[in-house]
Amino acid sequence: MMMKYFIANWKANKNLKEVEEWLNLFLKLYRPVKEKVIVICPPAFLLTYLQSRIKLIPNIKIGVQNISHFEEGPYTGEITAKSLTSLADFVIIGHSERRKYFNETKQIIEKKISLAYKYQIEPILCIRNENDWLADKKIRYVAYEPVYAIGTGNNEPLEKVIQLKNKLNLSLTTSFLYGGSVNDTNAKQYLSSNQIAGLLIGEASLDPRMFYRIISTI
Ligand code: PGA
């Protein structure tokens, strides 16, 4: 089996108590499998708590949902790549919600990608379509998330996802992920395809049982 990635994007959901409950349940169900990598992306202020809980558990990594495009300095409220060194393994960059509500441009996204690399945090670039792909940046993880499919229950069928992938001309070192209304009934079609290296899961990752069922579909 090829390596499959399961990225839980919690967005602006959950407080400390809810994360505690999520972990209590999930860790009871979870059995590590060599070819499956779980990446949990909580709200940033919960990273250290999450880290303390999963430190000794194989194949669970920590991600953040965003980083600042500033490296460091007087930027009140910003969370920089530098400040996340040794706390986060992955960072989601260019999510369509960030592009839409926080006016993230291609220039800002490119800055974030280079800061992520500088501080050894692996970027997962989210693209809405082929125009968002940054072919020259040697990005190792790309997540295709069509806007109409995010949070709507209207996931994109596998054939269309693969059509989009083919337009990107990815190198063999880039892992292609899909996201948009993934749940425990539609996950299998993507996971059984050797074209798809994993899933970016929003809503369905908030429930530990549902998230566990998605991981267990293959
Ligand atoms: P969704 O979100 O699974 O709730 O559609 C996916 C995402 O936006 O990353």
Catalytic residue among 69, 95, 104, 156: 95
Cα 215 to ligand 1 centre (Å):
16
Q: Which two tokens stand for residue 25?
A: 């349940």
What would the pLDDT profile of 171-207 be if each residue is shown by its tens digit? 999 999 999 999 999 999 999 999 999 999 999 999 9
Q: Which residue among 9, 125, 184 is best mutated to probe the pocket of ligand 1, counting the most ligand atoms within 8 A of its Cβ? A: 9
* pLDDT digits (tens), the chain, 218 positions: 799 999 999 999 999 999 999 999 999 999 999 999 999 999 999 999 999 999 999 999 999 999 999 999 999 999 999 999 999 999 999 999 999 999 999 999 999 999 999 999 999 999 999 999 999 999 999 999 999 999 999 999 999 999 999 999 999 999 999 999 999 999 999 999 999 999 999 999 999 999 999 999 99
Minimum-distance ligand 1 atom for the alpha carbon of 201: 3
CA atoms within a 13 Å half-sphere pointing along the CA-CB vector of 218: 23
Provide the token pair at 161. 């996802």
Task: Answer yes or no: is the C-beta of 156 below 6 A from any ligand 1 atom.
Answer: no
DSSP 135: G
CB neighbours of residue 191 within 10 Å: 21
Q: Give ∠ CA 152-158-162 in degrees, rounded to 5.
A: 120
Instruction: Please identify which residue in the block is written with the tokens 């994993």.
Output: 198
pLDDT tens digit string along 33-45? 999 999 999 999 9
**Of all atoms in ligand 1, which is nearest to the CA of residue 126?**
9
C-alpha span between 124 and 197 (Å, rounded): 12
Q: Is 145 in the pocket of ligand 1 (CB under 6 A)?
A: yes
DSSP 23-34: HHHHHHH----T
Say how far apart CA 116 and CA 124 lie, in whole Å. Answer: 10
Atom of ligand 1 nearest to the CA of 151: 5
Q: Give the residue, out of 10, 14, 203, 214, with the most ligand 1 atoms within 8 A of its beta carbon, to mutate for a pocket test.
A: 203
Question: Which listed residue (69, 97, 104, 145) is catalytic?
Answer: 145
